[in-house]
């Protein structure tokens, strides 16, 4: 990897579990300096950092409530103090609160919109100006196949994930001439702990038949796409929504 890339600082929100952990470790493997955020109430973060260090991954972890802009500012300041300014932001943090619209209340609507969409503003606001000033930056927003095609029982989640790409396109236009790219990736069903916990009979009868390649995606495949978008070679890719769903939904 080029010297200019090995010194880049990456911040992955929600980087301690599932897909986020694989993104973080693979970016370390690719030569980046990596920091992750964790929920302030997560008492196991120290154990996670120690475990990663034993595996050879020196990852910085900072507390951050992505729904709170002041918390985001504090988190980015901590990363800058420990590693330097953020060059690559991966907006990965997200939650689900699935239920039919008939049963959905304002609390569960707000929780998903604040975590999955408002967080993009809260986090990106802290790093975008610095990227523009340095004439280099990457903002990579993790959406979902369900933001493109919708999903039963996910009016909140689908709305938030669709909004992710609207944010991507508008910001990409504003910063394109300053060497900063902004892109969306939209994973389908990926073999994380959350997805593999689905009963096998449901996977076999309801999910896998709708995926033309006939399997779940691998977290490493998503991480590989993010590593590409963070690279020098991806400088001409901006405002894109890249589907990574095994052909489940084609745009």
Structure confidence by residue, pLDDT tens digits, 28-84: 999 999 999 999 988 889 999 999 999 999 999 999 999 999 999 999 999 999 999
In the predicted structure, residue 189 carries a pLDDT above the cut 70:
yes
| Average pLDDT rounded to a whole number, residues 210-238 | 97
- Which fold is adopted by the domain 3-244? Rossmann fold (3.40.50)
Task: Determine the pLDDT at residue 2.
Answer: 40
In the predicted structure, residue 223 carries a pLDDT above the cut 60:
yes
In the predicted structure, residue 7 carries a pLDDT above the cut 90:
no
Distance, C-alpha 36 to centroid of its chain: 11
Tokens matching residue 113? 């919109």
**Burial of residue 5, with CB atoms counted within 10 A of its CB: 0-12 exposed, 13-18 middle, 19 or more buried:** middle
Domain ranges of the chain: 3-244
In the predicted structure, residue 213 carries a pLDDT above the cut 90:
yes
**Burial of residue 74, with CB atoms counted within 10 A of its CB: 0-12 exposed, 13-18 middle, 19 or more buried:** middle
Mean pLDDT of the chain: 94
Task: Determine the pLDDT at residue 42.
Answer: 87
* pTM of the predicted model as reported, rounded to 2 decimal places: 0.95
Residue of 38, 157, 189, 228 with catalytic role: 157
Q: How confident is the model at residue 6 (pLDDT cuts 50, 70, 90)?
A: low
The pLDDT > 90 percentage for the chain reads 88
Q: How confident is the model at residue 5 (pLDDT cuts 50, 70, 90)?
A: low
Distance, C-alpha 133 to centroid of its chain: 24
In the predicted structure, residue 3 carries a pLDDT above the cut 50:
no
Active site residue 38: no
| Average pLDDT rounded to a whole number, residues 191-208 | 88
Angle among Cα 80, 83, 85 to the nearest 5 degrees reads 40
DSSP state of 248: S
Q: Give the residue carrying structure tokens 């300096």.
A: 33
Question: Is the CB of residue 36 less than 8 Å from the CB of residue 59?
Answer: yes
Give the number of other Cβ atoms within 10 Å of residue 152's Cβ.
Answer: 10
Tokens matching residue 241? 């929504």
The pLDDT > 70 percentage for the chain reads 98
Torsion of CA 166, 171, 174, 175, to 10 degrees: -140
Of the candidates 184, 185, 73, the residue with the CA atom closest to the CA atom of residue 125:
73
């Amino acid at each position: 990897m080029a010297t200019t890339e090995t010194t880049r600082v990456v911040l992955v929100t929600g980087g301690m579990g599932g897909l986020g952990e694989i993104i973080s470790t693979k970016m370390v493997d690719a030569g980046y300096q990596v920091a992750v955020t964790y929920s302030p109430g997560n008492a196991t973060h120290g154990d996670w950092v120690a475990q990663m260090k034993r595996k050879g991954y020196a990852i910085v972890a900072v507390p951050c409530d992505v729904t709170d802009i002041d918390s985001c500012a504090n988190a980015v300041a901590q990363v800058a103090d420990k590693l330097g300014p953020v060059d690559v932001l991966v907006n990965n943090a997200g939650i689900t609160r699935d239920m039919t619209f008939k049963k959905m209340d304002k609390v569960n609507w707000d929780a998903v919109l604040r975590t999955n969409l408002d967080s993009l503003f809260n986090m990106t606001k802290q790093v975008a100006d610095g990227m523009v000033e340095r004439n280099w930056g990457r903002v990579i927003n993790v959406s979902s196949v369900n933001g493109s095609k919708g999903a039963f029982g996910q009016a909140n989640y689908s709305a938030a994930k669709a909004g992710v790409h609207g944010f991507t396109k508008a910001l990409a236009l504003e910063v394109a001439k300053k060497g900063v790219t902004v892109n969306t990736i939209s994973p389908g069903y990926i073999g994380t702990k959350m997805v593999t916990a689905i009963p096998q009979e449901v996977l076999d009868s309801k999910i896998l038949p709708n995926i033309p390649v006939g399997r779940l995606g691998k977290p490493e495949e998503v991480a590989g796409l993010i590593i590409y978008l963070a690279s020098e070679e991806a400088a001409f890719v901006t405002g894109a929504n890249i589907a990574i769903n095994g052909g489940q939904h084609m745009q």
